[in-house]
Amino acid sequence: MNDYKLLYQALESLGASAWVQLLSEQLPAAFDERTHGDLLKWKAAIDELPNVKPSRVNLRDAVSIGESVDLSEQQLQQLVRGLQKLHPWRKGPYRLFGVDIDTEWRSDWKWDRLKPHIAPLQNRMVLDIGCGNGYHCWRMLGAGARLVIGIDPTLLSVMQFQALRKLYGADLPMYVLPLGVEQLPAEMRLFDTVFSMGVLYHRRSPIDHLLELKGCLRPGGELVLETLVVEGGADTVLFPESRYAQMRNVWFLPSCDLLMAWMRRCGFKNIRLCDVAKTTVEEQRSTEWMRFNSLKDFLDPQNSALTCEGLPAPRRAIVVACID
């Protein structure tokens, strides 16, 4: 667990020693090879990646590490082989030594939508809850954040992040930890900005999730919340009885007005609806790097305004708020 020594030092210096204690138990358990059949395979895939110092890195307008001229033909093959073994790549895109990882999601489009509306991340401590493989964490670092911690319980996503970190080739104040939000200590009051994007509808109790998010923020901190919403007024919420766009774990899709009312009840201030966008089959689709079904297969083939279950098709809102 030496990988986390610098993280632990940073957290200690912020007075978060109780969290360090908890992480030092949670992280070894999450990486236990006996409970994750594929972990050894993923570690081997990362070991296979070439050890080359990237000549150039761009995290400001994209996530691009290295140039094709940095690699020999053999190293290029090693790179592609290793990354392919970490299929499916859902969040991105990444450009790695000239190889374009065309992921299922154009996560950069979400970043472009939210960027103009959030407090500048320069020198901020940032938590990204449900960060996937950490695509937005790289963008947060590129925007000048002092420390970025992403958490996601999907171990393959965490291993994809480890692969990118190996390619980056140096220490970074950025971590993606294999944890669910429910494993964070309550009332940390530590972060300047907390992102929760694509998570609220996966939580059985959305109000408790909002309160969890609030507890992670320092006084005056900012929440960036992105979630699925439906059209309608302050009394409208969709509760799918079974699947939504084929997903089994979707609970509540409120209208924007109801979402903001929930946030007010939870004590958030200065709540701003910044963006509402229908998810398109250009933004979420199958690619060479994500060969399974994607949004197009989850919509009604006769009517793209509906999911295959006959529910309103995905529409996502970005809401920014702060706490006193």
| Binding region for ligand SAM (CB under 6 A) | 91, 105, 107, 110, 129-132, 151-154, 157, 180-182, 197-199, 202, 226
192 or 226, CB closer to ligand SAM? 226
Of 71 and 149, nearer to ligand SAM (C-beta) is 149
If the CB atoms of residues 197 and 319 are measured against ligand SAM, the closer one turns out to be: 197
Question: Of the candidates 94, 74, 104, 54, which has an alpha carbon nearest to the alpha carbon of residue 281?
Answer: 104
Question: Rounded to the nearest whole angstrom, what is the least distance from the CB of residue 235 to ligand SAM in the complex?
Answer: 26
Q: Which is nearer to ligand SAM, 11 or 129 (CB)?
A: 129
Smallest distance from ligand SAM to CB 181, Å: 4
66 or 92: CB nearest ligand SAM? 92
CB nearer to ligand SAM: give 71 or 157: 157
Q: Which helix (H) or strand (E) holds 271?
A: strand 269-278
**Which residue lies nearer to ligand SAM by CB, 11 or 184?**
184
Q: Do you find a cis peptide bond into 28, omega within 30 degrees of 0?
A: no
Closest alpha carbon to 158 in 177, 138, 136: 177
- CA 174, distance to chain mean position in Å, is 13
User: Is the Cβ–Cβ distance between 81 and 41 less than 8 Å?
Assistant: no
What is the residue type of 97?
F
Neighbours of 178 (CB within 10 A): 21
Minimum CB–partner distance for residue 154 and ligand SAM (Å): 4
Q: How far is the CB of 131 from ligand SAM (least distance, A)?
A: 5
**CA atoms lying within 13 Å on the CB side of residue 199:** 25
Sign of the alpha-carbon dihedral angle for 215, 216, 218, 220: negative
* CB 311 to ligand SAM: min, Å: 17
Cα–Cα distance measured from residue 185 to residue 55, given in angstroms and rounded to the nearest whole number: 39
Q: What residues contact residue 258 under an 8 Å CB cut-off, 6+ apart?
A: 232, 233, 234, 235, 236, 237
| Nearest distance from C-beta of residue 127 to ligand SAM, angstroms | 11
- Closest approach of Cβ 194 to ligand SAM, in Å? 12
250, 227 contact by CB (below 8 A): no
Q: Please, what is the minimum distance in Å from the beta carbon of residue 130 to ligand SAM?
A: 3
* Nearest one of 155, 52, 142 to 94, comparing CA atoms: 142
Q: Residue 296 Cβ, how far from ligand SAM at the closest point, in Å? A: 17
Question: Residue 54 or residue 153: which is nearer to ligand SAM going by CB?
Answer: 153
Q: Taken in order 180, 292, 316, 313, is the CA torsion positive or negative?
A: negative
Taking the least distance from each CB to ligand SAM, the nearer of 71 and 164 is: 164
Q: Which helix (H) or strand (E) holds 176?
A: strand 174-177
